[in-house]
A and B are shown apart, each in its own frame.
Chain A
Amino acid sequence: MNGMTLGGIYALIALGYTMVYGILKFINFAHGDILMVGSYIGLFTFDAIRGQTLGPWTIVAFFIAMLAGMLFSAGLGMAIERIAYKPLRKATRLAPLLSAIGVSFILSNMAAWMWGTKSRKLEYPFDNTPLHIGGVSITPHQILILVVVIVMMVSLKLFVDKSRIGKAMRATSLDQDTAKLMGIKADRIIAITFAIGSALAATAGFLIALEIKVYPSMGTMTGLKAFVAAVVGGIGNISGAMLGGILLGLLETFGVALLGIPYGLRDTIAFVALIIILLVKPEGLLGKVEKEKV
């Protein structure tokens, strides 16, 4: 169950990478840091509104705080795209990557400056005694995380597959110029993609605040792992990102628990997984082979 919840969180983050990569063919290095900002905003909102006593209000406050983090991150993601990436749309491939690294560094250090480097966590909002259902032990936090993750994934999948904007997103990622000719406002679609990806990242960040902890430099490692998840599943592929995230979460948890990999080297697992997948099946589990043309 630990693996599933961790994997679900990775999957949510991986979706942001994959969606942006699908459309712009560029790795948004600041994604992990947008997540970090979102989780802090959620955490602060929750602390401000939850009140003293536990009750039905607590769970409402939890979701309001999550929403606040999502909205803030969505705005932040769009702003970053507008300021730091959009002017570079026609530049070389290297330029937006460098700019993204810069943004990532700015965000994590601003956070350390403003909020301190100490790690924080949601102060146990709910009763977290493990429940035993058919031999599997699961905590209420984990149930909450799984529910949020599943709802988010299903609604994203429906949104992308069924809605008009989703259709436009798919068209833009397939061929931006043709999409423009068909009357799709590509710039708006790109902004929406950033907003959705960032909101999902903020959700994941808030869940991390509930179950693990948040700190200003968390974005680097969390983002890296989620990116690996996206590559494992096949970058640019939404179902692939979900699959890759869950696989990676399971691999990390079982790697430590069953295979006896020392806890200190836990972060190495994702990295080794990346190298192996790049050697064996670089297009990812669900990805298509794309031949680059002149």
Chain B
Amino acid sequence: MLNFILLILIYTGIYALMAIGQNLITGYVGLLSLTQAGFFAIGSYVTAILSVTYGIDFWVTIPLAAVVAGFFGLVIGLPTLRLKGDYLAIATLGFGEIVRNILNNWDKVTNGPMGIQRIPMISVFGVRVSPYEKWGFLVLVWLFVLVGYLLFERLAKSRIGRALEAIREDEIAASSMGINTTRYKVWAFVFGAAIAGVAGSLQAEFILSVTPGAFTFMVSIMVLCMVVLGGMGNFKAVILGAFLIQFISYFPQLVGLSNVIPPQFKQVLFGLILVIMMIWRPQGILGREKRNAPGSFFRKGGRS
């Protein structure tokens, strides 16, 4: 039982990292990205391939995972973010599927649907952090969450964060204030991708294997639900959201009903969460963090 709760908390941490990235792009810039799973997969495979095939240490692979995921973010972001936000949603939806497609088919490097096994465990100053002893891994994951949270929170409170919010409120007004909207949008997207890459790297070290099947569209939807449920534009709230969604996700196993409740049930529930939250509580459970001025993102009437 305790083991199981630890497992949920570890996954909460890994997903919280992705949700923090999603929050920057969806909560702050107000753009819909549907591919945290894609960047998650890229991060996982970077760590897996580098450490298994080339024997490179985890601590070297993790920044590389972030860089590679961020680079792909740039490749997707540059053509789509120059235009209206809607294209990003569709391009990212496609990207997630393509990544899985390539992982499944590029046998030489990714070993196809079989994936890569026997990833070496992490060691910190010579002490091995084994995923079998969950306490150590839990602390490690949440240290990453803490660092990620502080970095992104600082970023969002800085000049850059204000620029991003200005873009969300009114892109044309923002650009007439001299904000290079494309550049800021692309940067936000790249940062969001990079932190998902880090999360992927951690997941690879936790499961000690990677397979394309672990990075379905559902992962992206779960991350999106975390942000929407917790509260867009509030980093603490999305971490809460990450916990709630992971809890729902593992609830059938937790109460021993996984034979009774079909697996699709929770996925239908995730879909319902998105629709219901949008209609009745678009600001999420905790709502947006208040600045000095009252937030106007969800005011009725919108902009014309």
Contact = CB atoms under 8 A, between A and B. Distances in A.
Interface stretch (B130-138, B152-160, B262-270): B262-270
B90 A282 contact: no
Interface stretch (B9-17, B202-210, B294-302): B294-302
A165 B55 CA distance: 67
B15 to A, nearest CB: 17
B30 A94 contact: yes
Q: How large is the interface on B (under 10, 10 to 19, 20 to 34, 35 or more residues)?
A: 35 or more
Nearest to B262: A113
A271 B102 contact: no
Looking at chain B's contact residues, the main secondary structure is helix
Interface residues of A, number: 49
Contacts of B217: 220
Given A91-B302, A94-B26, A265-B101, A102 B273 contact: yes
Interface stretch (B40-48, B57-65, B92-100, B237-245): B92-100
A91 B301 CA distance: 7
Contacts of A2: none
Contact of B30 (A90, A93, A99, A106): A93
B69 to A, nearest CB: 18
Nearest to A224: B94
A242 to B, nearest CB: 19
A129 interface: no
Given A91-B302, A231-B87, A99 B275 contact: yes
Interface of B: 26, 30-32, 34, 79-80, 82-87, 89-91, 93-95, 97-98, 101-102, 104-105, 170-173, 217, 221, 224, 228, 262, 264-265, 267-268, 270-275, 277-279, 282, 297-298, 300-302
12 contacts: A29-B89, A96-B278, A97-B86, A97-B89, A101-B34, A102-B270, A112-B264, A113-B264, A268-B101, A275-B80, A278-B83, A282-B82
Given A90-B300, A110-B264, A228-B90, 15 more contacts: A27-B90, A29-B93, A84-B278, A91-B298, A92-B302, A93-B30, A94-B26, A98-B277, A103-B271, A106-B275, A109-B264, A113-B264, A113-B265, A265-B102, A278-B91
